[in-house]
Amino acid sequence: MKNYILLVVAAVMFLPSFAQLKINDVTLPATFKTGETNLVLNGGGVRKKAFFKVYVAGLYLTQKSKNAEAIINEDKPLVVRIAITSSLVSSDNMSESIREGFAKSMKGNTASLQSKIDEFIATFKKEAIKTGDVYDLVYTPGVGVKAYKNSKLQVTIEGLEFKKALIGIWLSADPVDADLKTGLLGS
């Protein structure tokens, strides 16, 4: 009986680390499977622009981490999920916002990745963005970043340097939204 009680207590203690997260009416699942890799939800938050909540983002990693620099630089699988929550988000303003995010992430030095950035941003212009759309940005070492819209592959961009610049949009020293960075880091 004593061992059973210890098992129940241990299970309850670890339960919150596997719980899904609900933010702004968007539920982020506790795990994300990409290929053979199971990722865990590291954290999530809301991207605000002016006074508007434009999307919810979640970050999935192989193991939880609060170290933004390590997450950016590691050559490990990860996923950023973006769920559009505002009808104010359009293909044009999302594209511009992502472009600005790359500029911040790369401290204005985007020339080395400009063609990849342009190809990635074109993903948001293929069809109109609407409330409820979900983008999964899936990084796999040796493959690159696969961008999915509503589970449909849009583009694959190769290279670790591109992944670093992309993740830097949200986790760099100068992120697009400091509160969102805090949420993604599970803080």
Is 7 contained in some domain? Answer: no
Q: Does 141 fall in a domain? A: yes
Enclosing domain of residue 163: 20-184
Alpha-helical regions (H) of 15-159: 68-73, 91-105, 114-121
Instruction: Say what the pLDDT of residue 24 is.
Output: 85
Q: Which residues contact 41 (CB under 8 A, 6 or more apart)?
A: 20, 21, 28, 29, 30, 31, 32, 58, 59, 60
Q: Has residue 5 been placed in a domain?
A: no
**Domain for residue 70, yes or no?**
yes
- 37-46 pLDDT tens trace: 999 999 999 9
* Longest CA–CA separation in the chain, Å: 65
Q: What is the dihedral of CA 45, 49, 50, 54, to 10 degrees?
A: -80
pLDDT, tens digit, 9 for 90 and up, residues 125-167: 989 999 999 999 999 999 999 999 999 999 999 999 999 999 9
- Number of domains composing the chain: 1
CB 57 within 8 Å of CB 44: yes
* pLDDT category of residue 169 using cuts at 50, 70 and 90: very high
- The reported pTM is 0.88
Q: Is residue 93 part of a domain?
A: yes
Token pair belonging to 120: 């990635």
Determine the average pLDDT of the residues in 83-111: 94
Containing 11, the helix (H) or strand (E) segment is helix 2-14
The C-alpha atoms of residue 154 and residue 146 are separated, in whole angstroms, by 7
DSSP 149-171: ETTEEEEEE--HHHHHHHHHHHH
The number of beta carbons lying within 10 Å of the beta carbon of residue 90 is 14
Task: Examine residue 3 and state whether it is found in any structural domain, yes or no.
Answer: no
CATH number at residue 133: 3.50.70.10
Question: What does the alpha-carbon distance between residue 132 and residue 3 come to, in Å, rounded to a whole number?
Answer: 46
What sign has the CA pseudo-torsion 161, 165, 166, 167?
positive
Residue 4 maps to a domain? no
**Domain contains 10:** no
